[in-house]
Chains A and B, each alone.
Chain A
């Protein structure tokens, strides 16, 4: 059974650019959630999508956005990148969004 797949694994971008990260959940999982991990703040919740609708959103600026497609794959987008956006971005999927999360390996974004 394939796990949660995140692409790309590593990414280097320049300040001011935008970036799109992709997450393919486990087959049959309808909930995808995104998290940012930094050395200073640890893991922080970004947003959750369920059946193509954003269900919850964390305390992040509007530059962070996402969407979910009909096949449950999700993308997150960060516009006007800042140095502080350098982080490991993790996504997790679950069947219904109730705690049984499986995490992906993450995308490590470096903004220079």
Chain B
């Protein structure tokens, strides 16, 4: 079983609040990813990282930001939450290419009122 963790699992918060979604992995993977999954099931890549001090924007424009100060930790921050941010957020990690097998965390379900 993959060792990748996300906290909190569920979060209900009011509009305008700053939130940080935590993601940690103990597999020593260099690459980490954040996906947003809409109710229609589709996954949208919003951020990824090749390693420490590396962050890249994904395919879907997002108002969130990420940081990668330690290999094992890849938090995602929303400075001012809005109802449009309500979604499931999935974190994943992998070794470097070409294998690209991604291991996923259990997800954080965010609801912004």
Asked if chains A and B come from one complex, the reply is no
